[in-house]
Each structure stands twice: as structure tokens, then as C-alpha cells.
Structure 1
Amino acid sequence: MKRFIVYTRYSLVLFMVGCIIGCTDVLEENPVSVVAPSNFYKTDSDFEAAINGSLRALFGGYGNFSNVPPHIISAGAEDTSSRAAAPSLNEFDTFQPTVNNNFARNMWIALYNSINVCNSLIANIDGATEVSDTNKRSYEGQARYIRALSYFYLTRWWGEVPIITFENQLDAANVGQSSVAAIYEVIVDDLTYAESNLPLTFEDRGRPTKGAAQIMLAEVYLNMAGWPLKDSSKYTLARDMAKKVIDSGIYSLEDEFLDLWLVANKTTNTEFIFAFYGSPFNGAGATSPVHQSMRPGEEGGFNTVLSEARFFYSFPEGPRKDATFWTVFADEANTTWEESAQGKPVIAKYRDGGVAASRDQGLVNGSAGEGFFVVNRYAEALLIYAEASNMAEGMPSQDALDALNMVRRRASGYDQSVYPDLLPGMAQQAFDEAVINERKWEFAFEVKRWFDLVRKEMVVSANIDLYPNVKEHNRLLPKPQTEVDLINGLEQNEGY
């Protein structure tokens, strides 16, 4: 099966069809008039290039989902930590974020870069006379999914942010900021269109599909039910959308948890619903260096993102834990993480870089890896269904219990003596806590836990024992000050 690989040559689309929110020099040096949209959007190849450009903004290089920035700025969750001697890395981990952190700013810029490409595609799709109506709907559905994904991350990290459209992007410095509710309206509208117009599958695995729109809608509704909107009616919608994914029959849990994290399986496994894929081949691939960034220094890695000891010790034993952590290093001394220079657990999920490094080797062959970033997978459909069903119905149904236990069984290698099933009769609150804990372990280091802490209002309670300085305002990150200074009406978040 082919991968929808993101190639560097298409990154020019960023400058051809959209303006970029970033800093003044970017706005000046990359004018939108390089190629007018009316001269670009004519053929299927043009729209394919634009879709690829919107993805290239999000994956490839060092400043987006292909490397550590999303992990670094979400390190307030107790699963993730960082190298202690690097202040720019650990300021989010220790709840001392600054307003000029480059990891945060790079993610902000990457997300808006992608949004602007999507805006231009959507604005020009109707005039493409050389493209069939079916393909038009597909291209627009893909662009709307990618735009929704970008806004979803933006509002969960920073709260009230600018809503940039094709119509106002030339005046981006004056759009101000929109309420979280208004941003979610855009997200839901885009994903609803995507669900109605995207196919069930593509030959290329890196394209958003109907299932991708459905699972993201389920996740969006789940977040709308929590802080800050606290609209509990959205639990029902989250339950129903997750059930659509489950009932589609397209996705399933992989038998072995480890298999999810091997490059050889990334485009053939049955669990990934949407992921960003990269490739170092053909001389122009959007590669991922994350395999090197997360390796320990004893193996020649960068120690950029690690775990916390408290998280490692709380993690249930079994094959899932073995696949999640790298406890004995592939160096001459067979160093354990406890003996290492950093003294923190090492993450194993991102070790496999394909041609750049196998999972088991120590020193890497290079930084241009074949890594991937999973946005949503089938286990999340099961756990969203379990959580939302319980909260919507006042108690866990048998279906909700079964969904949760499916994930637990795989985690234990289907050994009930290691991790037994939960039994019927649990109260609503106890079951909710069980699901949230299961999400913590199942999605460790997948940039999920931080958002769970925020929506469940647990940021302080989960961290205060280790970081007494944590405050409620830490639920939102400080907006990049360069953006606050550049955009009229964009206000810095409280407490920063």
C-alpha cells in the first residue's frame, strides 16, 4: 500500500497560496503574490500539491509534529519530561514557561502555515473547471480536515486565537482573537463537511478519510464537554461519533502493542486512523529526527524528551509497558535508565527510524528518519466511546465496559493474571477514573495526556506534589509574544 509522503518540493505551495502568520520578516520575505491562486489552482495535480503543502507545514524537519515541539510544550503532563540542563526544554515541564519559547512559537507558526494553505485551496476549489466534482469534494474535505486539526491543537494549547480565513488573511495583523466557542464552531463545521465528503479509504495511507473525520469529531466533542466550555451535552455526540468508527469495520486493535511502533508496519497496521508519515527517499522527503531526539545520550542521542520516574513506576506491568519504555540501553555497558546521566526513564515508542535507526540499535545511522506521528488510532475510538457513554448515560453500560476491557487485554498480552478485566457494577465516577487512567497509559507520549489533564481540570492536582508552583492558569500556554506584538487584539493569556 502506498504512503502519502510529504515532499519538500511542495512546501513552495506555502508561499504560493497563502500568507503566513509568524514574524515580521516572514511576512515581508514571502509575499503571497509570488504565484496568484487563480493561476495555480487548475488541475488535480495543483490540488494534490496544495494538500501535500498543508501537510508539509505540519510534518518534516525540526519545528513541528515530526520532532519534539509538541511533546515539549505538552510536558506539563506527568508522562513527559525533558533534559534538565536545557531551560528552553524544561520550562513547560516545570510550569515556568516563557513568552518567547521557540518550541511553542514554531508550533504556532506551523499550524497557521497549514491553515493558510487550506484556506486558499478551499477558496479556489469551485473555480477549478478541470477537476471533477467528486475530486473537488474530496480535496475540500481533506483541506477542511487538516484545517480543523490545526485549529484543534491551537485552541487546546492557547485558548483564544485568531481565526484566519482566505478573506482576512491578507489583513492577518488586525483579526484579533476569537472565543474558544467560536473556534470550535469552525472545527465542527469543517469536520462535519469532511465526514460527509471524504471516502472511507484512500490507496495512500497518509490522507484524511471519513473515519479520520469521525474520530476527530469524537475527540472534539469530548473536549467540548470538558474545560473550558463544559458542555456536557457533547458527551452524547462524542459517544455516537466514536461508535460510527467502531461499527465501520475498517479499523481494529493490533494484536501486539509493540507492532504499532515499528516503521515496517506503519502503513499496513489496522489501528492507525490518521497519522503523519515521512520518508527520506527520492531526495526530497519530509523526514523525522525524533528517533535521535528521544534516544539517551549513552546511545549518542539528544535526551530531548524523556519520561518521569513517577509515571514509569505507576505504569501497569505487561507488554504495553515493555514497548513504551526503553529500560536497558544499547550501549557497551548495557546502562539502565536509573544508572543513566539523566536518571529518567527513556521513551521507546519513537526509537524506530527505519533506515536511520532500527528500534534495537544504539547509535543511529543518521537523523533523517522514517518516523511518524499518530493523530488518532482505533484504541482511542474505544476509549472515547467508553468515557462518553458512561458520562452521557450516568453509568457504564456493558458496551462501554467491553470497549475499555478490549484495550486492557491487549495491554497485558491477553494475560488476565497480569491485568484483569474490570467487572460490571462500577459507579460512574470510578469508571470515569478508570478510563482516564487507561488513556494515560495507552497514549503515553502521544501528546494526549496534557489535553486530558486540561479538559478534566486536573493540571494542578496531577502536578502539585512535584511542582508546588503550578497554578490553574497553566492550563493554557503563554502565546508567543512575537505574535501578541504583531497581531492587534491578540491578548497574552492570564498569568504570563
Structure 2
Amino acid sequence: MKINILPGCVFAASMLLTTSCSDFLTEDPKGQLTVETLYKSKADLDLAINSLYQNIQGFQCNSNTMIVQCMGDDVTSTTGSNKAAYLAADAFEAPSDLKGVNDLWNWYYKIIKASNYVLDCAKYLKVDKSEVSEQLGQAYFWRAYAYYGLVRTWGPVPLSPEEVLSVDVDNIKDDIPCATVEEVYNYIVKDLKAAEDCNLPEKYPNGSKHIGDANVYVSAQAVKSTLASVYMSMAGYPLKKSDYYALAADKAKEVVDAVNARGIQSLLPNWNSVYSYGNDNHNECILGIYYNANTGSWGTDDSQLTCCHVPASLPWGGWGDFLAERYFWSKYPEGPRKDAVYAKTLLYKSENKQTKEIKYANVDWWATMDGEAYKTWMEKNDKNEDVEKTNAVFSDYRPMFTGFSVNANEQGQPLKIDFDCTKPIYAGMTLGKRHQLIRYAEVLCWFAEASARSGKYISEAKTALKKVRSRAYSDQAIVDAIDAMSNDQLAEAAYNEHRYEVAGNVLGMVTCREDAFRLERLKNVFDYRVGPQSDILVPKGTLTHSVNAKGEPFTYTLEKDIILKEKMEVTGTWKGEESMYQIYPPTEVEKNPNLKR
């Protein structure tokens, strides 16, 4: 959602953000805006909050800040093109293209700076602190959120000195050392507890802070959910403070209890509606970033991920930034959730060059043409590729995630409906679609895993995980199997259910990469990518939907198993911590020699 801000006020707030509040002279400089003259009321402080939320929107308005997520076992990227940074993360290598590390670092620190500014300038208001608790809560939360991302991506990072909250973090000086991982986590917890003390509402009144069934601003349950996740991270790698699983279980239980008592969140009955553009403001989402594509151009108010999941070989102008890992797809359990997370078929488009007639056919991602038909099809499309290399209908030869995708009408305009893979896809690069950072289903998984690992609330934890599975599977026996699980089995099941819930959602707060990082399983991903990859992905006998040389649909049965090796040859050796973290941006290292491990 667009945060409405008057242009002049945005300019004034952004200009003030370039200088520390504590740096202003005590004199009264005539004709100049200072915090003493500008910020006099609660309404004035909202200017700084608007500036903060502009940075939140800018943080994820394109895919660069999510490149690190290619380290997860759920996603990979297109070979070649402009995807060098994505493929470096996929291979656990230091990137030559620095757009991912640069943008992620810079945007996190912009959020921190904007949050600091709110907290610093609030001191100049002549109002009781309770009157601005809502604004303070937003600032404490988003600062913690940014540091939470930083510490899981880089490990030790600089912290803003408490005595100078508005430190110019765009130019970190060499006198600011890196805090240890534990120090950063303690800082995050302190901020989240401060946000809790602000007593944020569970539901905001309708308007700019609440739309449909969802909160736009950070709510009480968003703070508690994040704190539960942070405690789980502290219990895992690298701190390994296992007793923090009990704290995570306690905090997640507060959210679950509030939902049970007051219905402040809910699980959608149909998984296909989770990422639906037609049901964009549902209250399963606990924390989201809202966009409003008013400008139609690349800007902080536009979500620009609609083509990121779409393979480049589809006729919709897909970017192929985040393609599905075939192995993860093959192990993903069948059911309504898999049918919603992945496109069951891909839409093939053919056009008669004489009549201009367009035909569509729904085709499996692994579908092939027979050699002669494929050669004829290639020739008719004036291509000169070596037809012996592949007879794949789609050159990407991968399943497709659907979380960012939106359907289009005959004029190519986006449709506000649940996504249907059998219909044309919206090819525009800007859209006002919400980014979902935390969903209630995730909190149920966190509650179940943290409880199982700490030995607390086992009965309630099993009930929570059964709710998640009940929507995801068609087989009731899979749901009922939870009752007989040991604590270790329950923890592992909850861990995996969370990974299935967030697969492909690279913009979430806790992704498959973050889950594997916490349990030191990123090496497993690396080992698979450098290994033989000889697993059967599609067994023989599977009925396949394909197209012939004329683009007409037909079916055939696989005569042999499909065993695929990844296109990209991943080489190298595992380097432990160096492989798990990203490199510091070289330009920042030049400014601050303390950026080292």
C-alpha cells in the first residue's frame, strides 16, 4: 500500500535524515528547518515514519536484495543472462557482480538510519512518551528487523552507537568496530522488547494502517512472532544457545493463544489463496510490505517481482531470477499446497505466422517433442540452435513457483484472482502486490519446532502442526501421524513444514536459506550441487502433456525415468563460515577496515 505523504514533507524529512539530530546548532538559524522547529507534535513525527516506510518499500522493490536466497535448496536462477550474482550465491562463491551484496547492505542500513531518526527526533516532541508509542514501536521493530537480516547474512556488523542514534550509516567510519554476532543479537532482542513495551495494537483501525483484513503497520503479533524467530536463530548456528528454544516457544505461544482467544489472525482455508492477487489483504499475513503501482515505473511504491518466478522461455517476458530447484520440487510432498506453490503445468503459446492465430497449450515442465518434430518447430521459428542438445519444449526445463505471478486478461492487464497456471500471465514489471514477510502458518511451525526442541507444550505443538498439515495434504493419515511423533520427530517435521510453506518466497523474513543456515545444513545444499545429482525426478510411466510441431497439445507416457543434472556445473570446495556468509561490500571495506571476520 502506498503511504500517503505530501511531497514537500517528504523532501523536508529526507533532507533532515542526512544529518544527525544531535549535530544541529543550538542557535535559531532563521529560515532553516531544524528538529526543534519542525517537530512539535505527534503529527509531525508521522513525517519521519513515512520516510521510514518509504525505505521499507524501497528495500524490496526489486530482486537484488534477495539474491542471497539462492543459497537455499528451494531456488536457483537462470544460467547466463544478467544472473551472475544469483549464480554465485547458488554456487556459494564470492560474486563478481556486487549488486546483491551492495543493495542488501545499503538498504538495511537505510532502514536503520530512518529508524534511528524517528527515535532521535521523538525526543524533541513536547508530548508524553505514551502518545508516540506507536511511532516508537515501528522504529524499534524495523531497526531490529534490519539488524536481524544483517547478522544472518554477514555475521559481525557495525552497530549504531547508542549515544548518537542518527549516526550517518551511509558512510560508516573506521572508528565504528564490528559488533560480535552475540552482541548484534542482544541488540535485536533489546529493540524488539522495546517495541513490545510500546503496546502496539493487534489490529489497527481501517485507513492507512489497516486495509481489508490486514495490518499495514507493525502490530503486537508481528513483534512477538519476530522475537520468537530471533530466539530460534540464537538457539541455532552460530551461537547455539539451545535453551533459547524454550524462549521461542513461549513467545510463539503468546501469538497462538491470542489467535485462539480473539481470532486476530487465521489460516486461509484454501492454499491457492495465500499468494493470491485477488485476496491480497488477508489476515494470515502477520507482517507485510505494501505497494501501490501508481507510477507504473520503477519506484519504491511499486512491487517489481511479478516476472521473477517466470522462466525466460515462457512467452511472458519472464526474468527467471528465482527458478525452482528440480530436486526440491521432486521431494516436495504432494497435495493442495504443492499444487498452489508450483504451477502444475506451464502455458505454451504458438502463433500461426500467416493467420496470426494464437493457440495455448498446457504443458508439463519436463515435456519434450520427438526429435524430428522439434527440428521442424525450430525451423519454423527461424532459430538456429543445435537441435541435438535438447528436445525440451521449454529450454529452462524447470518447474515454476507461482508466488509472485498474476494472471492477465486479453489486453494484458492484471487480474485480481487466485493465480491459475492454465491462463496467460501478467508480464508487467510493476504491480501493487503485497510482500508477505511472516504468515501465521509460519508461527505455528515455529511454535511446534521450538516446543519440540525444548520439551514444552508438546500437546499444543502437535495441534498447531496438524493445522498446517490439514490444509497442505489430501491424505488425513499424514495429519494424524503427528500424534505418534517423538519430540525429535516433531521438531524435524515442523522444520520441514516451514520450508515447504515458504518455498520460493525469497522475500520472507525466514526463508529456506535461513532455516538451513540456522541448523548448519547449507553444506548439504552445496554437497548436492557439486554431487552427481542422479536422483529420479520424474518416474517412467508418468503421463506427460506436451505439444507437437504445430503447437497442438497431445499426451504421451514416459518410457524411461527422467534424471536431470543441473545446467550449472558447481565446483569448488566448502569453506565453512566463509561459504555460509556473504562477502562485505568492497566499497564499505575500503571505508571501514573493521569489516572482517
Task: Classify the TM-score, shorter chain.
Answer: 0.7 to 0.9
User: Aligned partners of 2:99, 2:295: CA distance in 1, in Å?
Assistant: 30
Give the structure 2 partner of residue 57 of structure 1. 55
Give the structure 2 partner of residue 290 of structure 1. 305
Contact 1:95 1:467 in 2 (8 A): no
Question: Considering only aligned residues, what root-mean-square deviation do their CA atoms show, in Å?
Answer: 2.6
- Structure 1 236/364 Cα, relative in aligned 2: closer, same or farther at 3 Å? same
1:257 aligns with 2:361: no
Contact 1:6 1:56 in 2 (8 A): no
- Give the superposition deviation at 1:132: 5.7
Mapping of 1:447-458 within 5 angstroms?
A: 447=506, 448-458=511-521
Give the structure 2 partner of residue 46 of structure 1. 44
- Give the superposition deviation at 1:65: 2.0
User: Which amino acid counterpart does residue 340 of structure 1 have in structure 2?
Assistant: F
User: Aligned partners of 1:83, 1:35: CA distance in 2, in Å?
Assistant: 49
Give the structure 2 partner of residue 30 of structure 1. none
- Structure 1 6/154 Cα, relative in aligned 2: closer, same or farther at 3 Å? farther
User: Aligned partners of 1:356, 1:237: CA distance in 2, in Å?
Assistant: 47
The correspondence for 1:330, drawn from 347, 350, 366, is 347
- Give the superposition deviation at 1:398: 1.8
- Structure 1 37/179 Cα, relative in aligned 2: closer, same or farther at 3 Å? farther
- Give the superposition deviation at 1:14: 4.1
Q: Which moved more, 1:328-337 or 1:45-54?
A: 328-337
Mapping of 1:69-108 within 5 angstroms?
A: 69-85=64-80, 86-98=83-95, 101-108=98-105
- Give the superposition deviation at 1:356: 5.7
- Structure 1 6/350 Cα, relative in aligned 2: closer, same or farther at 3 Å? farther
The correspondence for 2:471, drawn from 395, 410, 413, is 410
The correspondence for 1:210, drawn from 215, 220, 234, is 220
Contact 1:401 1:422 in 2 (8 A): no
User: Aligned partners of 1:367, 1:236: CA distance in 2, in Å?
Assistant: 43
1:472 aligns with 2:470: no
SS at match of 2:436: strand
User: Which amino acid counterpart does residue 259 of structure 1 have in structure 2?
Assistant: S
Mapping of 1:31-430 within 5 angstroms?
A: 36-60=34-58, 64-85=59-80, 86-98=83-95, 101-129=98-126, 133-165=129-161, 166-167=164-165, 169-170=167-168, 172-173=172-173, 174-197=175-198, 198-203=200-205, 204=209, 205-249=215-259, 250-267=264-281, 269-281=282-294, 286-297=301-312, 298=314, 299-332=316-349, 333-334=360-361, 335-338=363-366, 339-352=393-406, 357-358=414-415, 359-360=419-420, 361-362=423-424, 364=426, 366-393=428-455, 397-412=458-473, 415-416=475-476, 419-430=478-489
User: Aligned partners of 2:43, 2:406: CA distance in 1, in Å?
Assistant: 32
User: Aligned partners of 2:204, 2:476: CA distance in 1, in Å?
Assistant: 37
Contact 1:160 1:180 in 2 (8 A): yes
User: Which amino acid counterpart does residue 497 of structure 2 have in structure 1?
Assistant: E
Contact 1:6 1:277 in 2 (8 A): no
SS at match of 1:273: strand
> What does the per-residue CA deviation read over 1:153-176, in whole Å, with 9 as the maximum and x for residues that have no partner?
111111101112444714731312
- Give the superposition deviation at 1:471: 3.5
Contact 1:17 1:35 in 2 (8 A): no
Contact 2:67 2:85 in 1 (8 A): no
User: Which amino acid counterpart does residue 248 of structure 1 have in structure 2?
Assistant: A
- Give the superposition deviation at 1:215: 0.3
- Give the superposition deviation at 1:450: 0.6
User: Aligned partners of 1:35, 1:157: CA distance in 2, in Å?
Assistant: 38
User: Aligned partners of 2:407, 2:230: CA distance in 1, in Å?
Assistant: 31
SS at match of 1:228: coil
The structure with more radius of gyration: 2
- Give the superposition deviation at 1:307: 1.0
Q: Which moved more, 1:97-106 or 1:179-188?
A: 97-106
Contact 1:251 1:273 in 2 (8 A): yes
Contact 2:234 2:240 in 1 (8 A): yes
> What does the per-residue CA deviation read over 1:385-426, in whole Å, with 9 as the maximum and x for residues that have no partner?
1111111118x822111111110111125x526x44323342
Contact 1:5 1:206 in 2 (8 A): no
Contact 2:172 2:588 in 1 (8 A): no
User: Aligned partners of 2:505, 2:110: CA distance in 1, in Å?
Assistant: 22
TM-score by length of 2: 0.73
- Give the superposition deviation at 1:11: 6.1
> What does the per-residue CA deviation read over 1:287-339, in whole Å, with 9 as the maximum and x for residues that have no partner?
01101222222121111111100011111111111111124233425343323
User: Aligned partners of 1:303, 1:8: CA distance in 2, in Å?
Assistant: 37
User: Aligned partners of 1:37, 1:52: CA distance in 2, in Å?
Assistant: 16
Paired residue total: 469
- Give the superposition deviation at 1:6: 7.1
User: Aligned partners of 1:287, 1:160: CA distance in 2, in Å?
Assistant: 32
User: Which amino acid counterpart does residue 305 of structure 2 have in structure 1?
Assistant: V
> What does the per-residue CA deviation read over 1:181-223, in whole Å, with 9 as the maximum and x for residues that have no partner?
1111111111111112112221322100111100000000010
> What does the per-residue CA deviation read over 1:241-270, in whole Å, with 9 as the maximum and x for residues that have no partner?
001101112112111111121123222x12
User: Aligned partners of 2:142, 2:33: CA distance in 1, in Å?
Assistant: 22
TM-score by length of 1: 0.88
User: Which amino acid counterpart does residue 185 of structure 2 have in structure 1?
Assistant: Y
